[in-house]
Chains A and B, each alone.
Chain A
């Protein structure tokens, strides 16, 4: 059950957009994900939430570049977005051979 289900009526209407914005906020994610990874108990909770530790958090292994993705990224179809990220990864030392 999500916060959407727990927050009724007008109060929910006020809070839900804030929660949604917070969930999409890079700053919140930057604070939250390191915290989840820093403390073992939280890490375990995170693993339960993401499927028995199998699903890697999407943001963790993206190549590191400064700042947000370009606005034009949003105008790319899914295949071009994927190609852009694959190229960026291929050109960075993130992918080490097995």
Chain B
């Protein structure tokens, strides 16, 4: 038995997560046994949702707690009636056998109303052992079966098919059970002798009059002539009878990028990459691309078990629900009739049609600019179940706005590429971006297509960066560091979490808090607010090293606000293969001069944006000491000028050794960086604070020896494969470098080649392991 417990009355009464009603529901959940219980909550009381979820969490999986949307009441009778219809639709979409609605805490004496399908509510008496009594009542009230309703007389049925493709034998059979209106087909002469009459109409007529049909069948084949059906089915949803699972021809002739867009909608970016590898014709043959049509259908019927297998393979659970006709003869008719009758009433799309028709009759405003109609539309849409796969929504806001080639953006680009290439099973990876201001995140489709080399598709009007459709079970991963946008979207993200979307953030470091002097004035305050907010909002925070995870746990132990839900802290490591991070190409004008100098004498390479904490000033001063002592060595800096380094930049620009033994490449491409890694003598990692230290593993990949400051995070990554130094004075670093140069000349410098490093694919896998397999480093308890 599947029981939905609708608690909106308790929420309305303000009882929230306390009181006898809640206790009763908890008792029902504990004693459910083989039965399935879903708890339905209204979005109109957001302040109660976290506590209510937490109250049921020990016994009920998160996906069985459903938050449905209704517009806020405004006192009008019309809207009040609309709210009831919308709520009932939302609950019907949960497919319950029974719905139980406690009346509210004040009236708990009567325990509530039990509403069997299509029956009037009746009161249940109060007993001490209330849950057991209720289960008995549920069992008695359980409907015997949910067979398809039987039609009376000859109801109208619209049969939509392409000209010349109509299965006239089937139409003739259907015409014995329905008044068939044949839309699009013009083959009356093909009707068998003695077949009942059918009416002919064209597509334009049906577009206007389709709302008058409860029963609609679309016969769809893999033919360009069927290309009008997706739009028509979206307008007037019906049962889709598939002649072929591969529907590429519907889109291939509809425009230069129509197939690409359908491919993307059906299978995600992974399919676009497959098309790049195998070519358009092979993709057309390989991938079924009917999702834009099938997601609009009330139900899908196919002609063979093999077709359903294909549907299962390509569309997962959605394909699993397809029905199979027994054959092409008379035996196929009963299953089709049953499917028509069932899907015409009991499918979510059929209920949606009925709901919009009922709301239309209520006298709601018909102007789509009406704020009321907007709110009603948003609520209805949010309550519709989706057959689409779960989404992994990856926030790449900063990268999508402007790729500044910072270290974090390289991580974001590399991880998102790895996720797109190898999405986790059952998930569709969708890069998204936000504009702040509580506006929905948008799919970053144009940016992602450009990143993947699908530039023509990215420019096509077919591809809109639509606002995200998030559904329960989706995951939002705040991969990019966009504190200002996240802070403006806190309510939006909280609402997503209320609706069953898990929210995780990646934490790159705590440096603005740990060394505020290295950042512009006020950064620490903003960063503290940001960190506090994501700790309060998120289901988990994933750090980029164990060292950062430990620092975060320490900081949260001192500063975390009381929270109802526990907070999980995990970590993963970065990747190192430049080739998988959409590398940039091109060499600077002085590339030959720099590479010649690197070949001429020992060279230490520093990689990273110039900022105070990176230790560039100390390094330059140390090298000045070395040069003064007659040590012939190069210092090459790769990275653009960041903040608070104006003096350092001026010093370097006027430095007598510039272009001799001191080189600064502010805009070096990944190609140039690769050449430097390959030809330098060692990497100098002089940072006084880092979240990870990507240059260390990039150096290891090139077997470049490493001289690194003795930091916990560098020890975590470099282990015994680097030479470490202490001290923040130039003399201390100069001495360490002299010792290392001596080791290097003798071939005794610690080699980095054996340092373990991950590819970006492995790095993304570690990240997914943390959030999907729940492999957390620590969990901070809720209150």
B360 at the interface (CB under 8 A from A): yes
Q: Please, which residues of chain A bring their CB within 8 A of the CB of B468?
A: 77
Say whether B368 contacts A92, CB under 8 Å: no
Contact of B209 among A73, A84, A90, A96 (CB under 8 A): A96
Q: Among the listed B162, B184, B367, B378, which residue makes an inter-chain contact with A88, where contact means beta carbons less than 8 Å apart? A: B367
* A52 and B203 alpha carbons, distance in the complex (Å): 10
Docked CA distance A56–B184 (Å): 12
Partner of B368, one of A54, A55, A70, A97: A70
Please name all residues of chain B whose beta carbon is closer than 8 Å to the beta carbon of A53 when the two chains form the complex.
202-204
Across the two chains, which residue of chain B brings its CB closest to A86?
A: B356
CB distance from B615 to the nearest CB of A (A): 45
Pick the contact of B360: A78, A81, A87 (CB < 8 A). Answer: A87
Q: Are B381 and A91 in contact (CB under 8 A)?
A: no
* Interface 1/0 per residue, B439-479 and A, CB below 8 Å: 11000000000000000000000000011110000000000
CB of B228 to closest CB in A, whole Å: 4
Q: How far is the CB of A19 from chain B (nearest CB, A)?
A: 12
Minimum CB distance partner of B199 in chain A? A98
B residues near A73, Cβ cutoff 8 Å: 368
A residues less than 8 Å from B376 (CB atoms): 83, 87
> Which of A54, A70, A79, A82 lies in contact with B369, CB distance below 8 A?
A70
Most chain A CB within 10 A, of B156, B184, B467, is at: B467
| A42-78 with Cβ < 8 A to chain B | 50-56, 58, 60-61, 63, 65, 67, 69-70, 72-73, 75-78
Q: With A69-B368, A72-B374 in contact, do A96 and B360 touch (Cβ < 8 Å)?
A: no
Do B225 and A51 touch across chains, with their CB atoms under 8 A apart?
yes
CA distance A57 to B357 in the complex (A): 23
Q: With both chains docked as a complex, state the minimum distance between the C-beta of B154 and any C-beta of chain A, in angstroms.
A: 13
B181 lies within 8 A of A76 (CB): no
Whose C-beta in chain A lies nearest to the C-beta of B209? A98
* Other-chain contact of B384, A61, A63, A79 (Cβ < 8 Å): A79
Residue A85 interfacial (CB < 8 Å): yes
**Contact of A65 (CB < 8 Å), options: B204, B234, B369:** B369
Is the beta-carbon distance between B184 and A61 smaller than 8 angstroms?
Answer: no
- Given A52-B163, A53-B202, A98-B156: A89 and B228 within 8 A (CB)? no
Contact pick for B364, options A63, A85, A91, CB 8 Å: A91
Q: Are the C-beta atoms of B366 and A84 separated by less than 8 Å?
A: no
Chain B positions 358 through 372: 1 when the CB is less than 8 Å from some CB of chain A, otherwise 0: 011101111111000
The tally of CB-CB contacts under 8 A between chains A and B is 135
Assembled-state Cα–Cα distance A31/B691 (Å): 60
B residues within 8 A CB of A77? 381, 440, 466-469
Q: Is B771's CB within 8 Å of the partner chain A?
A: no
Distance of A33 from chain B, by nearest CB (Å)? 13
A76 touches B378 (CB 8 A): yes
A87 to B356 alpha-carbon distance, docked (Å): 6
Cα distance A87–B366 when bound, in Å?
A: 7
Bound complex: CA A2 to CA B228 (Å):
21
Let me know if A51 and B228 touch, CB within 8 A: yes
- A51-B225, A76-B467, A95-B212 given; A83·B368 CB < 8 A: no
Is B373 an interface residue when CB atoms closer than 8 A count as contact?
A: yes
Q: How far is the CB of A40 from chain B (nearest CB, A)?
A: 15
Whether A65 touches B227, Cβ cut-off 8 Å, given contacts A77-B466, A96-B209, A98-B156, is: no
B380 touching A83, Cβ below 8 Å: yes
B686-727 vs A, CB cutoff 8 Å, 1 = contact: the mask equals 000000000000000000000000000000000000000000
Asked whether B224 is an interface residue with its Cβ less than 8 Å from the other chain, the reply is yes
- Whether, in the assembled complex, B377 has its beta carbon less than 8 Å from a beta carbon of chain A, the answer is yes
Q: Mark B520-539, 1 if CB is under 8 A from A, else 0.
A: 00000000000000000000
Q: What is the bound-complex CA distance between A50 and B225, given in angstroms?
A: 10
The 0/1 profile, CB within 8 Å of A marked 1, for residues 590-613 of chain B is: 000000000000000000000000
In the assembled complex, which residues on chain A have CB atoms less than 8 Å from the CB atom of B225?
51-52, 54
Q: Is the CB of A56 within 8 A of B212?
A: no
A96 to B254, CA, bound (A): 30
Minimal Cβ-Cβ distance residue in B for A1: B256
Partner of A69, one of B254, B360, B369, B382: B369
Tell which of B211, B213, B227 touches A89, judged by Cβ atoms closer than 8 Å.
B211
Supposing A82-B234, A87-B356, A90-B360 touch, asked if A75 and B367 sit within 8 A by C-beta, the answer is no
Known: A88-B366, A91-B366. A55 touches B231 (CB 8 A): yes
User: Min CB distance, A84 to chain B, in Å?
Assistant: 4
Known A54-B162, A98-B156: A91·B360 in contact at CB below 8 Å: yes
Check B208 for interface membership: any CB of A closer than 8 A.
yes
For B202, B207, B224, B440, which residue has the most chain A Cβ atoms within 10 angstroms? B207
Which of B181, B204, B439 gathers the greatest number of chain A CB atoms within 10 Å? B204
Q: Which residues of A contact B378 (CB under 8 A)?
A: 76, 80, 83
Q: Which residues of A contact B231 (CB under 8 A)?
A: 55-56, 58
Counting chain B CB atoms within 10 Å of each CB, the highest count among A81, A83, A92 belongs to A83
Q: Is A83's CB under 8 angstroms from B377's CB?
A: yes
B328-385 residues with Cβ-Cβ distance < 8 A to A are 356-357, 359-361, 363-369, 373-374, 376-378, 380-382, 384
**A84 adjacent to B374 (CB under 8 Å):** yes
CB-CB < 8 A to A91: which residues of B? 359-360, 363-366, 373
Which chain A positions have C-beta within 8 A of B364? 87, 91
Closest CB-CB distance, B199 to chain A, in whole Å?
A: 9
CA distance A63 to B363 in the complex (A): 16
Residues of A within 8 A of B382 (CB): 79-80
Min CB distance, A77 to chain B, in Å?
4
Residues on B with beta carbons closer than 8 Å to the beta carbon of A51: 224-225, 227-228, 254
Contact indicator A65/B366 (Cβ below 8 Å): yes
A70 CB to closest chain B CB (Å) equals 4
- Kindly provide the distance from the CB of B68 to the nearest chain A CB, expressed in whole angstroms: 14
List chain B residues, Cβ under 8 A from A78: 466, 469
Give CA–CA (A65, B365) in the complex, Å. 11
Check A70/B374 contact, CB under 8 A, given A51-B227, A78-B469.
yes
Please name all residues of chain A whose beta carbon is closer than 8 Å to the beta carbon of B467 when the two chains form the complex. Answer: 75-77
Instruction: Let me know if B209 and A95 touch, CB within 8 A.
Output: yes
A73: nearest chain-B partner, CB-CB: B368
| Bound-complex Cα distance A60 to B373 (A) | 22
A72 to B28: give the CA distance in the assembly, Å.
43
Q: How far is the CA of A50 from the CA of B207 in the complex (A)?
A: 15
Residues of B within 8 A of A63 (CB): 366
What B residues does A75 contact at CB under 8 A? 439-440, 467
- Shortest beta-carbon distance, A30 to chain B, in Å? 18
Q: Is the CB of A98 within 8 A of B381?
A: no
B469 A90 Cβ-Cβ under 8 A = no
B234 CB, nearest partner CB in chain A, Å: 7
Q: A51-B228, A69-B368, A96-B209 are in contact. List 19 more A-B contacts (CB 8 A).
A: A54-B227, A55-B227, A55-B228, A56-B228, A67-B369, A69-B369, A75-B440, A80-B382, A82-B381, A83-B380, A84-B374, A90-B357, A90-B360, A92-B366, A95-B208, A95-B211, A97-B209, A98-B158, A98-B212
Some 21 contacts from A to B, beta carbons below 8 A apart, are: A51-B254, A53-B203, A56-B203, A56-B232, A61-B208, A65-B368, A67-B369, A70-B368, A70-B369, A79-B382, A82-B234, A83-B378, A83-B380, A87-B373, A89-B211, A90-B360, A91-B363, A91-B364, A91-B365, A95-B210, A98-B181
Q: Which residues of B contact A (CB under 8 A)?
A: 156, 158, 162-163, 181, 184, 202-204, 207-213, 224-225, 227-228, 231-232, 234, 254, 256, 356-357, 359-361, 363-369, 373-374, 376-378, 380-382, 384, 439-440, 466-469
Query: Ordered nearest first, which 6 A-B pairs have the shortest CB separation?
Result: A90-B360, A91-B366, A97-B212, A95-B211, A55-B228, A84-B377
